[in-house]
Amino acid sequence: MNTHPKVVGIVGSYRKQGTIDQMVSAVLEAAAARGADTEKIYLLDQHIEFCTNCRHCLQQPGPERGQCIWQDDMDALLDRLEAADALVLGAPVNCGQVNALTQRFIERTVVYGYWPWGTPAPQFRQTQLSRKAVLISASGAPGLIGRWAFSSLKSLKALARRLGAKPVGTLWAGLVNSQDQTIGDRTRRRAQQLAQQLI
């Protein structure tokens, strides 16, 4: 029986080895050093169709997530996330929001809602936050301005809660103005602190 905690990281960036990828990796590496089993998933490598807002998944009663009409990678991806003890969710800022790749994934997590036709408002199927999450984002703006002006962390926080995870900390990189920018020692130290909170 495996007693090691499982930590799964999501990289929502278009760039492998970019800033978001490096920060997610730093948290996962620190978690692995504390004995966790880790896995990193690139949304770029997943076949995820666009949500059509047909609300088919929202009509199905019960505590389990609804079934989507699309037969793509999303169902298996959510299985992997649900099996994790902790999550690391990373996405960059594009035009003040999370990028479209991550937003497409977020929209497909509507399967965790229940909203039958004729009822006034949706409900979440599960309200218990049984796992922890670290939220990661980056922008070309300075860190303090980016955190205040952009909504990426807000979107990632909502995503974490939809996945049954309570955010325990954030990691933000500002002034990201180069494709090959390398994260610094201060960011790595913060990643180690966040990994400690996850495990």
Q: How many other C-beta atoms are found inside a 10 Å radius of the C-beta of residue 102?
A: 27
Q: What is the pLDDT of residues 175-195, one digit of tens each?
A: 888 766 899 999 999 999 999
In the predicted model, what is the mean pLDDT of residues 29-45?
98
153 contact partners, CB below 8 Å, separation of at least 6: 135, 137, 147, 170, 172
**What is the DSSP code string of 44-89?**
GGS--PPP----SGGG--SSSPPPPS--SSHHHHHHHHHT-SEEEE
Q: What is the pLDDT of residues 109-122, one digit of tens each?
A: 999 999 999 999 99
Which pLDDT does position 3 carry in this prediction? Answer: 81
Which pLDDT does position 49 carry in this prediction? Answer: 98
CA dist 71 and 27 (Å) reads 32
pTM, to two decimals: 0.94
The full set of domain ranges for the chain reads 6-198
Residue 1 has pLDDT above 60, yes or no: no
CA dist 109 and 147 (Å) reads 24
CA dist 128 and 73 (Å) reads 25
Q: What is the pLDDT of residues 66-79, one digit of tens each?
A: 999 999 999 999 99
Which pLDDT does position 26 carry in this prediction? Answer: 98
Domain range 6-198, CATH class: alpha beta
In the predicted model, what is the mean pLDDT of residues 87-103?
96
Q: Which amino acid is at 83?
A: A
Confidence at 2, pLDDT banded by 50, 70, 90: low
Q: Chain-wide mean pLDDT for the chain?
A: 94
